């Protein structure tokens, strides 16, 4: 996950040094704690959270738990992992019990991504069997109502609006009445934000809350805000009362400290993470998985879930059969490649592999390279895709011209196809593939 890349690298360097010691002295532990403290502060984790976290880790590290361990360095990693999970809190799930329609109210500052998150949440809830209704109660931001209506059409979910003339509390209440008439099971109210917290804003949100009695009041917070996000969360919690957090833009290049800080400072659980700009880019929050990713242990469970959501079982079985009969061609390669891209940005998928933080820290996935691979294959004729051996030098020049690339780029794609074919044949035959086979479009970047 990009927002934790720097923190993951720093912690991995610290742990690598600890693993070199056969036995850890108290001074070794103190030195490691200083480095961990600096790494967390540099990642914008709130200073009070850092202080409490390091104290708890140190207390466990100087005790018998580590001193009697055969692998003290690895035991320290386990302790840090445990304490990260403790800091991130229990998994937060929406509490939608009792009579319908359930009410979810979204609050937050302007620019945090509330409107897009409302649509993402509605899509999530529909997949769970709910019948959602979006309510456009942000009458202040230009085009906010139009944006929500457009998003609703995109995902085929109805939007209740009254333009910008009515008051937000009235719109929210009328939206709830509309949901009752239409037998909608849950409404998601998109409220107005401001550039900063102000009394008028909070009074209006309090009025909306009083009018519609929401099951959930979720603060949508930009993960790239840094330590200020913690102050924002505290302000909303004290003045409006929130039941959960949704962190957006966690695919950005922020330092990520807000995710670690907000749960402990506010006592309110994180319920979702916004992992991409796409409308399906909203993940349930799993503290154990996030802790593993921060420490470079990967997140295989999320990777499997993404694959299950994306891959068609019949297509996968057909691909295996083609491998068994040696008929896996470039058409199939392109299809598998497109299925992989549907799972999300490849850099994000790579980060979910155990050990990827250290072993692949210098590997970069460029979306332009991925587009180039697809353009090259699409520039081939059906006959060439079915029988790549037909592709001679002159055909390579034609394919390169048609895809806006160079003949050597065509050669590279053919080589990647050949390697993928070998790997998949081994998998289909029940053998372990040789490590190191590159994914299409993955290249090396300069070391920092």
Q: Residues 202-228: pLDDT tens digits?
A: 888 999 999 999 999 999 988 777 667
CATH 1.10.10.10 describes domain 102-296: no
SS3 content of the chain, % helix, strand, coil (to 5): 55, 10, 30
The tally of CA atoms less than 13 A away on the side-chain side of residue 25 is 3
Q: Is 149 exposed, middle or buried (0-12, 13-18, 19+ CB in 10 A)?
A: middle
User: How is 21-56 classified by DSSP, letter by letter?
Assistant: -SS--HHHHHHHHHHHHHHHHHTT--HHHHHHHHHH
Burial 386-409 (b: 16+ CB within 10 A, else e): eebeebeeeebebbbeebebebeb
* Band (315; pLDDT cuts 50, 70, 90): low
Specify the higher pLDDT residue, 209 or 141. Answer: 209
Q: Hey, what CATH topology would domain 303-444 get? A: 434 Repressor (Amino-terminal Domain) (1.10.260)
- Between 185 and 328, name the one with better pLDDT: 185
The mean pLDDT of 255-261, rounded to a whole number, is: 69
pLDDT for 251 equals 64
Region 381-409 average pLDDT: 91
Residue written as tokens 């390091």?
A: 54
pLDDT digits (tens, 9 = 90+) for 166-181: 899 999 999 999 999 9
Tokens 């399906």 -> residue:
280
pLDDT value of position 201: 84
Instruction: Encode pLDDT of 83-139 as tens digits.
Output: 888 888 777 788 888 888 999 999 988 888 889 999 999 999 998 899 999 999 998
pLDDT over threshold 80, residue 26: no
Least confident of 15-24, 161-170, 249-258, 432-441: 432-441
- Tell me the pLDDT tens digit for each residue of 401-415: 999 999 999 998 888
Q: Is the confidence at residue 248, as pLDDT, over 90?
A: no
The first and second tokens of residue 344, run together, are 């999300």
Helical residues (DSSP H) of 213-329, grouped into ranges:
228-239, 257-266, 287-294, 300-310, 313-324
Evaluate whether 330 touches 418 at the Cβ level (below 8 Å): no
The stretch 142-171 carries a mean pLDDT of 91
The answer, yes or no, to whether residue 55 has pLDDT greater than 50, is yes
Range 293-313 average pLDDT: 54
Q: What pLDDT score does 401 carry?
A: 93
Please give the structure tokens belonging to residue 6. Answer: 């720097």
- Does residue 153 carry a pLDDT above 50? yes
Domain boundaries, the chain: 2-88, 102-296, 303-444
Report helix, strand or coil for 190.
strand
pLDDT digits (tens, 9 = 90+) for 318-376: 655 655 555 667 877 777 666 666 666 555 555 554 444 444 444 445 567 778 888 99
Mean pLDDT of the chain: 77
- In the CATH scheme, what architecture does the domain 2-88 have? Up-down Bundle (1.20)
Residues sharing a CB contact under 8 Å with residue 20, sequence separation 6 or more, in sequence order: 73
């Amino acid at each position: 996950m990009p927002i934790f890349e720097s923190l993951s690298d720093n912690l991995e360097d610290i742990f690598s040094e600890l693993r070199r010691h056969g036995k850890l002295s108290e001074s070794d532990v103190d030195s490691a704690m200083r480095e961990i403290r600096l790494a967390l502060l540099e990642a914008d984790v709130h200073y009070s959270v850092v202080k409490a976290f390091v104290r708890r880790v140190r207390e466990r590290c100087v005790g018998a738990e580590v001193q009697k361990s055969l692998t003290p360095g690895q035991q320290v990693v386990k302790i840090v992992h445990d304490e990260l999970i403790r800091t991130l809190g229990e998994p937060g799930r929406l509490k939608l019990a009792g009579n319908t329609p359930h009410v979810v109210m979204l609050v937050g500052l302007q620019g945090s991504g509330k409107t897009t998150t409302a649509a993402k949440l509605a899509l999530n809830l529909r997949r769970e069997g709910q019948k959602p209704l979006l309510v456009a109660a942000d009458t202040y931001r230009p085009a906010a109502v139009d944006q929500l209506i457009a998003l609703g059409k995109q995902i085929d979910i109805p939007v209740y609006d009254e333009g910008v003339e009515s008051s937000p509390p009235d719109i929210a209440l009328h939206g709830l009445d509309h949901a009752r008439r239409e037998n909608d099971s849950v409404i998601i109210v998109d409220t107005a934000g401001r550039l900063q917290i102000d009394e008028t804003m909070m009074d209006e949100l309090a009025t909306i809350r009083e009018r519609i009695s929401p099951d959930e009041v979720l603060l949508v917070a930009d993960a790239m805000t840094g330590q200020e996000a913690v102050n924002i969360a505290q302000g909303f919690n004290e003045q409006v009362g929130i039941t959960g957090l949704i962190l957006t833009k966690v695919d950005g290049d922020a330092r990520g400290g807000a995710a670690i800080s907000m749960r402990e400072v506010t006592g309110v659980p994180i319920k979702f993470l916004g992992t991409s700009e796409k409308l399906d880019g909203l993940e349930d929050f799993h503290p154990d998985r996030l802790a593993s990713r921060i420490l470079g242990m990967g997140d295989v469970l999320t990777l499997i879930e993404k694959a299950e959501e994306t891959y068609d079982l019949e297509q996968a079985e057909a691909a295996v059969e083609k491998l068994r009969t040696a008929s896996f061609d470039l058409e199939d390669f392109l299809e598998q490649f497109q299925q992989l891209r549907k799972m999300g940005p490849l850099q994000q998928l790579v980060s979910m592999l155990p050990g990827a933080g250290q072993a692949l820290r210098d590997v970069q996935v460029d979306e332009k390279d991925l587009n180039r691979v697809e353009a090259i294959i699409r520039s081939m004729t059906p006959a060439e895709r079915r029988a790549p051996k037909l592709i001679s030098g002159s055909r390579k020049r034609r394919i390169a011209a048609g895809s806006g690339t160079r003949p050597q780029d065509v050669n590279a794609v053919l080589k990647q196809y050949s390697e993928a074919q070998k790997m998949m044949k081994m998998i289909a035959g029940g053998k372990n593939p040789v490590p190191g086979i590159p994914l299409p479009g993955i290249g090396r970047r300069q070391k920092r």
